Amino acid sequence: MCQTQFKNNLCDSNAIPAMVQQCAIWESCMNRDPSTVGRAKVGAELIAEVVNGFVEPISWKTLVCIKQEPKKAKLS
């Protein structure tokens, strides 16, 4: 994605002055270490699976019933 944007906006040959900052962002994105990016992606997927494992068994119907539970009367 970064490399495509960098090339499509002509950052490598003739950057427009208004695009200098964005071109620098795309260039640093292109030069990132792929192993670091891969580990972060795996970590994010793992967290997503854990959260999904807790949430998935709870249906919307259950959530609605829990939310609409009647209040108990106070005894004075």
Q: Are residues 25 and 46 in the same domain?
A: no
Q: Are residues 21 and 39 in the same domain?
A: no
Higher per-residue confidence, 44 vs 40: 44
Q: Are residues 14 and 25 in the same domain?
A: yes
Q: Are residues 1 and 15 in the same domain?
A: yes
In a domain, 75, yes or no: no
In a domain, 76, yes or no: no
For residue 62, the 8-state DSSP code is: H
Q: What is the pLDDT of residue 25?
A: 92
Q: Are residues 45 and 64 in the same domain?
A: yes
DSSP string, 26-59: HHHHHTS-HHHHHHHHHHHHHHHHHHHHHHTTS-
Q: CB under 8 Å to 23, separation ≥6 — which residues?
A: 6, 9, 11, 15
Give yes or no for a contact between 28 and 11, defined as CB atoms under 8 angstroms apart.
Answer: no
pTM of the model: 0.45
Residue 34 has pLDDT above 80, yes or no: no
